[in-house]
Amino acid sequence: LSRFYCDYCDTYLTHDSPSVRKTHCSGRKHKENVKDYYQKWMEEQAQSLIDKTTAAFQQGKIPPTPFSAPPPGGAMIPPPPSI
């Protein structure tokens, strides 16, 4: 008896057949687990990028005012409304 393990749900299905798998994968709980998994992954990726950017800034690899130089070609970029 082979049983299918679902990584997203951290559970074994009763048995491994296409119909059991299809029923499981179309279920609300499974879909929520998949969504949560990828949402958590995206948040981790974003945090990693923020951490790397912060570290680079603190080490002086990124200038403090990246928008202080005039835009190429003399184009003017309006400031954000908050200024």
Encode pLDDT of 35-58 as tens digits: 999 999 999 999 999 999 999 988
The pLDDT assigned to 46 comes to: 95
Global pTM reads 0.61
Q: What is the pLDDT of residue 62?
A: 77
The pLDDT tens digits for 2-35 are 789 999 999 999 889 999 999 999 999 999 999 9
CA distance 82 to 79: 8
Contact 24, 30 (CB under 8 A): yes
Euclidean distance between CA atoms 3 and 10, whole angstroms: 13
Assess contact for 25 and 17: CB atoms under 8 A.
no
